[in-house]
Amino acid sequence: MTLEAIDLAFGYPRAPVGRDVSLSISTGEVLCLLGPNGCGKTTLFKTLLGLIPSQGGMLRLDGRDVASFSRPEFARRLGYVPQANSAYFPFSVLEVVLMGRASRIGAFSTPSASDREAAKAALEALSISHLGPRLYTAISGGERQMVLIARALAQEPDMIVMDEPTASLDFGNQARVLERIRALAASGLAIVLSTHDPGHAYACADRVALMKKGRLVALGTPAEVVTPARLKELYGIDVAVAFVEAAGRHVCAPSLTQVDVQP
């Protein structure tokens, strides 16, 4: 499948956020979106997912205007891993993952045995089956993040949009999720993710889009766009980008001499 944005404009009523965004993402690919806080990453994602209407331009899925898809038809194709927010409703983890089946179940039906199997398989794929019976309100933020990824997997979509999937994860789980993202793409999914760690782009992305003030300032392979000059343009700080042989890839490290530390 291919999702294509052409000169997309996006934002909220009376509050435009971004425009002129053109990109495409296809099966087997990982696209990483980098950009400072508030530049519009989440708003772009919500627009790609059809959760808020676009404010201009065109969005096509497999060459077809997304406006011509029914809501459930479109929702089945695209999974969403939102930022892990606080949880208020005391559902079990398994129930939360089952919610990923909603677009396949229908409004008035109950989950079938195969829906339960898909939910359990998603938990298993992320090695978090042990969390299944736990209350979603009583697990850690990082565990919740993994559960939200499982929920998207249970949906069996063609593409998953992940909003900062590594944000609240410990060092080990960050690496596991980045590896999982690569494996999911290799298994035939398209993945779009945002992150605040440019090194993650080198770890898992085929292509990287850099966003500043709601516009893309660069789009290309990690080596082409995740450079000290581009990172300075994006974040206003000096960043060293170096190949680390033991890691087998480039890593990014900000230079701390630019931070004013008071004794």
What residues make contact with ligand ATP under the rule CB under 6 A? 12, 15, 17, 35, 37-43
Closest CB to ligand ATP among residues 37, 258: 37
In terms of Cα–Cα distance, which of 70, 40, 80 is closest to 213?
40
- Read off the tokens for 134: 């736990």
Q: Are 177 and 149 in contact (CB under 8 A)?
A: yes
**Percentages (nearest 5) of helix, strand, coil residues in the chain:** 40, 30, 35
Taking the complex as a whole, the smallest distance from the CB of residue 86 to ligand ATP amounts, in Å, to 16
Taking the complex as a whole, the smallest distance from the CB of residue 41 to ligand ATP amounts, in Å, to 4
Closest CB to ligand ATP among residues 43, 155: 43
3-state secondary structure of 61: strand
Taking the complex as a whole, the smallest distance from the CB of residue 199 to ligand ATP amounts, in Å, to 17
Closest CB to ligand ATP among residues 41, 207: 41
Q: Phi and psi dihedrals of 164, rounded to 5?
A: 50, 60
Closest CB to ligand ATP among residues 84, 93: 84
In terms of Cα–Cα distance, which of 5, 33, 64, 60 is closest to 194?
33
Closest CB to ligand ATP among residues 131, 152: 152
Taking the complex as a whole, the smallest distance from the CB of residue 158 to ligand ATP amounts, in Å, to 23
Taking the complex as a whole, the smallest distance from the CB of residue 197 to ligand ATP amounts, in Å, to 12
Number of H helices, E strands in the chain: 10, 12
The C-alpha atoms of residue 98 and residue 133 are separated, in whole angstroms, by 12
